[in-house]
């Protein structure tokens, strides 16, 4: 097999292996995307179903303790005509008369469908159903629905009433401080299934042995239901099918299976399905386009490689053909010499060799008296040829020339063939020269083969190196996250200084440009200052994280200087930080970037006056129902100044924390977050409403009588959930930081 054929086969095999690897990788990626799509759909379906159930429970639970907003529950009323008095008599007509209006209003507002009342022993006293009479035998005992004889607290769940699924809540009712029975609110599950089907664009089936309810907007359930009814009959809890998709009628459906057990030990299976054929088909088209593109690229590379190989070997083939012709005595050949590489050198050598043979033929046909001159010419030309060969080959050829000179005196015969005759010395010289040249050609072939192998190995090494660099990059980001987290105060330190505080720190990526720090400074034997700083640096991700480290150094520099000052002034910390960052990032020079940060810093003192300074940072103060933004300086820290701008100075402002219930500190990533149906920024107005909705009375149960301060507190988790709910499915635009300080709970 020729060398160029071996190289072509090697290239073709390499391309086929790479193509096979890409095909396998594409198939694995397609399967992974399919699993991801199905997983996301199942997660969304579970969230929608849980929200529908929770909303139903919450609606019914509300009317367990209220009749309407601001009005006491009907079960809290007392008197001879009250619902409690009617229940105590056990008379169904009196109970019906006392509850008809209340029940009708709840049915009309789609809060419930069935209302049942049980005595203290769990036996049914009275039942009300707006659609049709309920078989009282199916709900004759409260324990059959809830598992308890007398409800001890408000509780909810799923149950079966008159062979129909229903969501229900139960709660105790009291008279003269003792429980006299239980009340059950129930709503049929059918409208909830329809609501889920519209919201999730999917079908749902709830089944138990001999009972099932379902929607049929996308599938008739034929062939699906048998997969899950066996699971429910066996009393197994959890997803026991092992399936995430199923193929029916040429369409692919995602599967989301949940099983649970309801009283009295009744297994229930909830199956959610959705036609995902269109979604998977779009991904399939993408993979086909990618495969065609890769095939086109490989075809182009193969064609270019083959043409390059042909072009590179054509001069060698021409040279070999010329050598074969010369070996046969044919000097009527042409060899092109136009390259300066090894192949060109060989071609030049062949040309020189041909010229030598031609000269030899002309001299040989000359007169006998020119014979000595002809042989001398052959010897001279051979020496020139030796000069074109490598050193070790040249030495051997020169030795052959010396041997030929010893044989040149032998008689020669005339012949038409330049290689025939009695000139044995000339023939021997030509044979040896041809052998040296052939050996040199073989050597060059071997070098070229080695170069191809070496470059193939380097390509494999480069690919492995790229994979290692990718792994190192991910590891570096995770390590950078741990470095950034090291500058943040621990939760225990925050709770020690600010009991009951709430902190939510959410970088946009693994690391971010928001941070906060807490420093405690001893000012006396039993007294100390606490300095809390919350700051937002330029950018997010890795650049922002680097800036937070620089910001921490800048603030620590200012805090240390302020602590040593005869009259500490918290505004001087921001002044010092501004100078530090401006110096470090060359903000007043020729720096290519313009970096800095916004910051709020609080100097909290248990004894003495507290104060704060703010560099363009948003802080809200809350007192009762009143919420307002406290004063701050509009200038930021560290950014480049224009020629007409003055260096910002940050004012130290006194603050009496006991005058407020809470301080809410937010970074601009929260205010700028896109969300809502119109995809607008959250803004101050919406955030103020969310803060107002999260206000609750302060819990003083863990304090002594002397420590109770009353006032209100802000539920940080509820406020954070409101922000995320407004964000919805929109991407997080910036780092988010939320800090809530309960001023009313701070030690005085």
Q: Which of 433, 452, 486 is the last residue of a domain?
A: 486
- Specify whether 481 is located in the same domain as 492: no
Residue-number span of the structural domain to which 638 is assigned:
487-740
Tokens describing residue 312: 């590179």
At residue 507, the pLDDT reads 93
**Predicted confidence (pLDDT) at residue 180 exceeds the cutoff of 50:** yes
Residue 308 lies in a domain: yes
Q: CA 212, CA 217: separation in Å to the nearest integer?
A: 16
- Which of 640, 641, 645, 636 is closest to 616 using CA atoms? 636
Res. 563 pLDDT band, cuts 50 70 90: confident
Predicted confidence (pLDDT) per residue in 499-524, tens digit: 999 999 999 888 889 999 999 998 77
Number of domains present in the structure of the chain: 2
Residue 265 lies in a domain: no
- Specify whether 716 is located in the same domain as 577: yes
Considering the chain, what percentage of its residues have pLDDT values greater than 70? 84
At residue 346, the pLDDT reads 77
- Specify whether 607 is located in the same domain as 708: yes
Tokens describing residue 313: 């070997």
Res. 235 pLDDT band, cuts 50 70 90: very low
At residue 224, the pLDDT reads 74
Considering the chain, what percentage of its residues have pLDDT values greater than 90? 34
CB 75 within 8 A of CB 63: no
Residue 548 lies in a domain: yes
Predicted confidence (pLDDT) per residue in 646-669, tens digit: 888 899 999 999 999 999 999 999
- Specify whether 513 is located in the same domain as 383: no
Q: CA 61, CA 185: separation in Å to the nearest integer?
A: 9
Res. 137 pLDDT band, cuts 50 70 90: confident
Burial 22-36 (b: 16+ CB within 10 A, else e): eeeebeeeeeebbee
Lay out the sheet containing 653-655: strands in order across.
Answer: 514-522, 528-537, 597-605, 610-615, 653-655
Question: What is the rounded average pLDDT for all residues in the chain?
Answer: 83
Residue 572 lies in a domain: yes
HSE of 136, CA atoms in CB hemisphere, 13 A: 9
CB 247 within 8 A of CB 277: no
- Specify whether 502 is located in the same domain as 649: yes
- Strand-pairing partners, residue 117, are 126, 183
Res. 705 pLDDT band, cuts 50 70 90: very low
- Specify whether 491 is located in the same domain as 628: yes
- Specify whether 555 is located in the same domain as 649: yes
- Specify whether 520 is located in the same domain as 425: no
Predicted confidence (pLDDT) per residue in 20-68, tens digit: 887 787 778 777 887 888 888 889 989 999 999 999 999 998 888 777 6
Residue 27 lies in a domain: no
**Predicted confidence (pLDDT) at residue 126 exceeds the cutoff of 80:** yes
- Specify whether 415 is located in the same domain as 306: yes
3-class state of residue 123 by DSSP: strand
Packing angle between helix 342-364 and helix 277-327, nearest 10 degrees?
Answer: 20
At residue 236, the pLDDT reads 44
Q: Which range has the worst mean pLDDT, 301-305, 384-388, 647-651?
A: 384-388
At residue 622, the pLDDT reads 96
- Specify whether 438 is located in the same domain as 537: no
For the whole model, what pTM was predicted?
0.42
CB 746 within 8 A of CB 698: no
Torsion angles phi and psi, residue 681, rounded to 5: -65, 150
For residues 312-326, give the mean pLDDT: 75
CB 330 within 8 A of CB 362: no
**Predicted confidence (pLDDT) at residue 407 exceeds the cutoff of 70:** no
- Specify whether 411 is located in the same domain as 479: yes
At residue 737, the pLDDT reads 96
Predicted confidence (pLDDT) per residue in 270-296, tens digit: 999 998 888 778 877 787 788 788 888
């Amino acid at each position: 097999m020729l060398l160029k054929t071996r190289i072509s086969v090697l290239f073709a095999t390499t391309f086929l292996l790479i193509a096979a690897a890409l095909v396998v990788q594409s198939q694995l990626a397609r399967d992974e995307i399919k699993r991801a799509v199905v997983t996301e759909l199942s997660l969304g379906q579970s969230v929608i179903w849980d929200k529908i159930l929770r909303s139903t429970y919450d609606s019914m639970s509300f009317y367990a303790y209220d009749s309407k907003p601001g009005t006491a529950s009907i079960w809290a009323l007392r008197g001879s005509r009250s619902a409690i008095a009617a229940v105590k008599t056990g008379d169904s007509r009196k109970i019906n008369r006392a509850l008809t209006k209340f029940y009708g209003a709840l049915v009309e507002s789609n809060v419930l469908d069935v209302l049942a009342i049980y005595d203290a022993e769990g036996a049914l006293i009275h039942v009300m159903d707006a659609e049709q009479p309920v078989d009282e035998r199916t709900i004759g005992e409260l324990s059959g629905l809830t598992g308890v004889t007398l409800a001890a607290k408000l509780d909810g769940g799923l149950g079966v009433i008159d062979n129909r699924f229903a969501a229900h809540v139960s709660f105790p009712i009291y008279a003269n401080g003792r429980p006299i029975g239980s009340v059950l609110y129930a709503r049929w599950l059918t409208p909830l299934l329809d609501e889920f089907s519209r919201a999730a664009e999917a079908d749902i089936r709830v089944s138990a042995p001999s009972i099932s309810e379902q929607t049929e907007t996308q599938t008739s359930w034929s062939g699906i239901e048998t997969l899950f009814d066996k699971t429910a009959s066996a009393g197994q809890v959890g997803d026991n099918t092992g399936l995430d998709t199923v193929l029916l009628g040429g369409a692919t459906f995602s599967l989301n299976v949940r099983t649970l057990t309801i009283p009295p030990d009744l297994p229930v299976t909830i199956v959610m399905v959705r036609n995902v054929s269109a979604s998977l088909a779009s991904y399939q088209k993408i993979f086909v386009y990618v495969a065609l593109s890769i095939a086109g690229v490989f075809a182009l590379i193969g064609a270019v490689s083959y043409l390059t190989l042909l072009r590179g070997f054509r001069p060698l083939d021409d040279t070999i053909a010329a050598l074969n012709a010369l070996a046969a005595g044919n000097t009527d050949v042409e060899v092109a010499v136009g390259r300066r590489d090894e192949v060109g050198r060989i071609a030049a050598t062949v040309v020189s060799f041909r010229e030598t043979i031609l000269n030899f033929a002309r001299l040989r046909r000359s007169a006998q008296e020119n014979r000595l001159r002809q042989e001398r010419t052959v010897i001279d030309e051979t020496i020139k040829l030796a000069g074109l060969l490598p050193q070790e080959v040249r030495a051997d050829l020169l030795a052959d020339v010396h041997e030929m000179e010893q044989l040149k005196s032998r008689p020669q015969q005339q012949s038409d063939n330049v290689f025939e005759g009695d000139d044995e010395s000339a023939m021997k010289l030509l044979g040896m020269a041809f052998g040296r040249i052939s050996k040199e050609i073989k050597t060059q072939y071997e070098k070229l083969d080695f170069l191809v192998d070496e470059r193939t190995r380097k390509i494999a090494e480069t690919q492995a190196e790229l994979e290692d660099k990718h792994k190192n990059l991910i590891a570096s980001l995770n390590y950078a996250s741990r470095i950034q987290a090291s500058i943040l105060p621990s939760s225990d330190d925050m709770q020690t200084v600010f009991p009951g505080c709430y902190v939510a720190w959410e970088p946009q990526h693994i690391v971010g440009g928001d941070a906060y720090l807490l420093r405690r400074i001893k000012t006396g034997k039993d007294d100390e200052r606490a300095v809390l700083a919350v700051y937002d640096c330029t950018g997010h991700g890795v650049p922002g994280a680097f800036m937070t480290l620089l910001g921490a150094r800048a603030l620590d520099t200012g805090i240390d200087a302020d602590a040593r000052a005869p009259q500490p002034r918290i505004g001087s910390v921001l002044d010092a930080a501004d100078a530090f960052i401006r110096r470090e990032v060359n903000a007043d020079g020729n720096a290519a970037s313009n970096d800095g940060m916004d910051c709020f810093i609080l100097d909290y003192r248990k004894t003495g006056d507290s104060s704060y300074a703010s560099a363009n940072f948003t802080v809200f103060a809350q007192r009762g129902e009143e919420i307002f933004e406290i004063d701050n300086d509009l200038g930021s820290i560290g950014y480049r100044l224009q020629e007409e701008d003055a260096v910002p100075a940050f004012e130290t402002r006194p603050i009496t924390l006991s005058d407020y219930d809470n301080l809410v500190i937010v970074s601009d990533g929260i205010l700028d977050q896109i969300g809502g149906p119109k995809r607008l920024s959250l803004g101050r107005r919406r955030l103020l409403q969310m803060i107002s909705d999260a206000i609750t009375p302060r819990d003083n149960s863990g304090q002594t009588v002397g420590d109770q301060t009353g006032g209100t507190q802000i539920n940080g988790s509820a406020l954070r959930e409101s922000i995320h709910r407004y964000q919805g499915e929109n991407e997080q635009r910036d780092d988010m930081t939320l800090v809530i300080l309960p001023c009313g709970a701070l030690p005085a």
